Structure 1
Amino acid sequence: MNSTVLLTGATGFVGKAVLADLAMRGHAVRAAIRGAIPADFGAAAFTIEAIDGETDWQAVLEGVEVVIHSAARVHVMNDTEVDPLAAFRKVNVEGTLNLARQAAAAGARRFVFISSIKVNGEGTVPGRPYRADDEPAPADPYGVSKMEAEQGLRALARDTGLEVVIIRPVLVYGPGVKANFLAMMRWLGKGVPLPFGAIHNRRSLVALDNLVDLVRICTTHPAAANQTFLVSDGEDLSTTSLMRRMAKALGKPARLLPVPAALLALGATLLGRRALSQRLCGSLQVDIEKTRSLLGWTPPVSVDRALAKAARHYQEQMNK
């Protein structure tokens, strides 16, 4: 029997895909949106002016069985807030726990929280991936806020009986992806020579379709209750390998120059781009064995199929 679901962040990169999947499967979806509701929006939508500790969710939650909370104040490279941690806490901690408390009081049975791998930390030693039950080690205000939200949700679950499921994605890519992944597609699409031909790191990624599939399973699977899951495509790539396979998906040659990673890191540091260097040259792997074994889940979409889908969307947008 299909559930009535409240989805927050329904116009975001992940939220839009989750919404489409839920609607396709016949769920009654209520979408909470900050700002104006798009004219062509295909679900029951509610405008939420802000998500914080004071938001009143009562009218939206009536009859809701499952909440999928994907809305957040997201990580940004150059935060202009005077106190970034306070700004993250207002939305990601106070806003999340306020919604969960009201959901429990309204009779919802499950709360699926889209967290972040940043709760685990910023990077791994190759061959020693993060695991879901590792001690958290967030290194920035965004990661700290997500960790604190997780801790509050677990306490709330113990106190109320609300089933909490926490999902920590790694970098998510797919049609409509932004930021560094989009920039990479632009570089490769233009045939620009890039100094990334000798990077031997290992990074876990997750295709949007794979994340959406796991979210769907976590709304109903009995074994998911009160668990934390890491999610990836199940195949870790070096930056060099990723760029070669992305170029192939775009139908372009990969013009990658074999510049040593140490030299790239030094140059990035001198230019004040150390964080970008870590993403390009550092490793971040996750172990999804718990997700596989406890839920019987296997990523349904391969890396190459997902890259091809992202490439098609990018090229269609460029040709408009």
Structure 2
Amino acid sequence: MFVAQNIRNFVFNVDCFSKYFDVKICITGTSGFVGQNLIPSISEKEYNILSISLRDEWLQRLPAQYEAIIHLAGKAHDTKNTSSAEEYFEINTELTKQLFDQFLQSNARDFIYFSSVKSAADTVEGMLDENVDPNPQTPYGQSKRQAEEYLLNSELPAERRLFVLRPCMIHGPGNKGNLNLLYKVVSKGIPWPLAAFENRRSFLSIANLQYVIKQILQDPSIPGGVYNLADDDSLSTNELIQLIGEARDKKPALWRVSPRLIEGIAKVGDTLRLPLNSERLKKLTESYVVDNSKIKAALDINKMPVSAREGLLTTLRSF
């Protein structure tokens, strides 16, 4: 999202602003879910935050001196397919390139770019790591990947760092995404008819994301690079539904309907435009497991602070 909503500091004329505060961290996309959770987290460490909107004269908002840019702003994947491909590339690719060029002309130390695992792959066989040959299939993933390529192919001055972070599905209290929708379905007592399908998916707790960013900002010895972000463990959709039941203190209904029957219904849905079609069935039942070992090695930790189960229960209990 683009409209920058200042959470802690008033955003006004940068010359005036700089007279009173030592601006250290510039953040784009602060009105989004990640931004709203990240700013209070890093502000606790006595970082002064400047919110930057990429929609309105953003160049004028960059202060003369700052330590890092955290680039969260971007056009999210449109599941309704109403956005044009050009919108993704204009926002996710071109604005990122312009912002990075300004970073290179500054004395700032770090550029932290929030990309997506979808910049690497739309489907995953086995486990997704950073060595995969990227092959995104959607304008969203392609626009993110093109931005990555520009950043990674640019010459980076010594003593400066570029982080290309590829998070999987981020969740936490206040998040209104797909996890919230699944929670609402299960809460209505509707049986889950896809329990016969076996899959595993990775998630990312907002608490673990906050931890990673704080470590990067505090420790200049952490090397820049491309990093996947995910919780340590993946879960099946069945396990996720059981966690929803645990969060509500009610046992959910899991129906193991024949996969062939479900697939047949989905094919009918392709023609009759039913709520369940082949594409939606794939999204609900496919596996997408993300390897987070590289970022843990860079941070010199054996596991993330919050387990996948603990993080998901915290989110689910907030709904």
2-side partners of 1:115 and 1:152: how far apart?
13
**Residue 154 to residue 220, structure 1, CA distance change in 2 (3 Å):** farther
Task: Assess if the C-alpha contact under 8 Å between 1:195 and 1:257 holds in 2.
Answer: yes
The aligned runs of 1:278-297 (5 Å cut-off) are 278-297=282-301
Counterpart of 2:311 in structure 1: which amino acid? A
**Residue 93 to residue 306, structure 1, CA distance change in 2 (3 Å):** same
Give the RMSD, CA atoms, in angstroms.
2.2
**Residue 144 to residue 214, structure 1, CA distance change in 2 (3 Å):** same
More moved, 168-177 vs 89-98: 168-177
Task: Assess if the C-alpha contact under 8 Å between 2:112 and 2:163 holds in 1.
Answer: yes
For structure 2, the residue ranges without an aligned partner over 5 or more in a row are 1-21, 271-276
Identity %: 26
1-side partners of 2:267 and 2:300: how far apart?
43
How big is the shift at 1:65? 0.9
Paired residue for 2:308? Answer: 303
For structure 1, the residue ranges without an aligned partner over 5 or more in a row are 34-47, 315-320
Paired residue for 2:211? Answer: 213
Task: Assess if the C-alpha contact under 8 Å between 1:150 and 1:166 holds in 2.
Answer: yes
What number of residue pairs does the alignment pair up? 291
**Residue 57 to residue 279, structure 1, CA distance change in 2 (3 Å):** same
Q: Greater CA radius of gyration, 1 or 2?
A: 2
Task: Assess if the C-alpha contact under 8 Å between 1:116 and 1:143 holds in 2.
Answer: yes
Paired residue for 1:5? Answer: 25
The aligned runs of 1:83-122 (5 Å cut-off) are 84-122=84-122
| Alignment match of 2:138 (pick from 126, 137, 140) | 140
Task: Assess if the C-alpha contact under 8 Å between 1:23 and 1:29 holds in 2.
Answer: yes
| Alignment match of 2:76 (pick from 74, 78, 85) | 74
Task: Assess if the C-alpha contact under 8 Å between 1:61 and 1:106 holds in 2.
Answer: no
Q: TM-score, normalised by structure 1?
A: 0.84
Q: TM-score, normalised by structure 2?
A: 0.84
Q: Deviations over 1:195-231 (max 9, x none)?
A: 1322211111111111221122233444544311111
2-side partners of 1:268 and 1:201: how far apart?
18
2-side partners of 1:262 and 1:167: how far apart?
38
Secondary structure in 1 matching 2:34 = helix
More moved, 290-299 vs 155-164: 155-164
Paired residue for 2:236? Answer: 238
2-side partners of 1:72 and 1:185: how far apart?
26
The aligned runs of 1:1-320 (5 Å cut-off) are 4-33=24-53, 48-50=54-56, 56-81=58-83, 84-125=84-125, 128-158=126-156, 162-272=160-270, 273-297=277-301, 298-314=303-319
How big is the shift at 1:274? 3.5
How big is the shift at 1:159? 6.5
1-side partners of 2:160 and 2:265: how far apart?
49
Secondary structure in 1 matching 2:288 = coil
Task: Assess if the C-alpha contact under 8 Å between 2:223 and 2:298 holds in 1.
Answer: no
Secondary structure in 1 matching 2:251 = coil
1-side partners of 2:187 and 2:316: how far apart?
9
